[in-house]
């Protein structure tokens, strides 16, 4: 009798779990979305559905700012960083993979971003010297890789590490 109740419970749980689906999530991990525009070297906009867009922030990297604000000047190498990211992802389908936190305080999606060919966009920005490492716990899955790539970029004078 106990075994029957257990199996019934398990069956009902499975049905409830499947019926909840991913429709309640704003953006399920691993989904592909088209990039509509690049804002700077670490932030861009995706189309989540026809007529709806959301901003995405690359996890683990920080690129120079392209706009002057009250507290910050335009960053050295900002336009080059934005141009490199634009060339790589603008109008492309990208796959978003999340870490622990899916959104930042500005409600931007936080993601590790991949092209269809497997290129890891976050890593490319650091590897080519178009961004520096910025680790914000708890999103630290690739932090060690980013630190290694930044060291290599600096040692090889790539991107913003070039000596003028």
Tell me, what's the pLDDT at 103? Answer: 97
- Of 26, 31, 34, 57, the active-site residue reads 57
Asked whether the beta carbons of 98 and 110 are under 8 A apart, the reply is yes
Q: Which of 34, 79, 108, 148 is catalytic?
A: 108
Give the active site residue among 53, 54, 55, 65. 65
- Work out the average pLDDT over 87-92: 98
Q: Look up the pTM and report it.
A: 0.77
Closest CA to 50 of 33, 31, 27, 25: 33
* pLDDT given for residue 65 in this prediction: 82
Q: Is residue 70 annotated as part of the catalytic site, yes or no?
A: no
Q: Is 144 marked active-site?
A: no
Q: What is the pLDDT of residues 9-30, one digit of tens each?
A: 444 444 444 334 333 334 445 7
Which residue in 160, 161, 14 sits closest to 80, CA to CA?
A: 160
Tell me whether residue 108 is one of the annotated catalytic residues.
Answer: yes
Domain 28-161, what fold? OB fold (Dihydrolipoamide Acetyltransferase, E2P) (2.40.50)
User: Using one digit for the tens of pLDDT, what is the confidence trace for 100-143?
Assistant: 999 999 999 999 999 999 999 999 999 999 999 999 999 999 99
Cβ neighbours around 72 below 10 Å, total: 10
Q: What is the mean pLDDT of residues 43-55?
A: 96
Rounded Cα–Cα distance for residues 31 and 10 (Å): 29
Measured distance CA(27)–CA(14) in Å, rounded: 22
């Amino acid at each position: 009798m106990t075994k029957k109740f257990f199996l019934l419970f398990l069956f009902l749980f499975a049905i409830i779990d499947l019926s909840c689906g991913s429709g309640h999530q704003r953006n399920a991990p691993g989904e592909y979305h088209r990039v509509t525009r690049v804002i700077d070297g670490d932030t861009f906009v995706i189309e989540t559905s026809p007529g709806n867009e959301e901003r995405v922030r690359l996890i683990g990297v920080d690129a120079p700012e392209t706009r002057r604000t009250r507290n910050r000047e335009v960053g050295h190498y900002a336009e080059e960083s934005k141009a490199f990211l634009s060339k790589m992802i603008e109008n492309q389908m990208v796959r978003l993979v999340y870490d622990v936190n899916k959104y930042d305080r500005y409600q931007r999606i936080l993601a590790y971003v991949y092209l269809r060919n497997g290129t890891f966009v976050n890593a490319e920005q650091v590897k080519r010297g178009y961004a520096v490492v910025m680790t914000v716990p708890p999103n630290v899955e690739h932090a060690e890789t980013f630190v290694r790539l930044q060291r290599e970029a600096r040692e090889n004078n790539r991107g913003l590490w070039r000596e003028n």
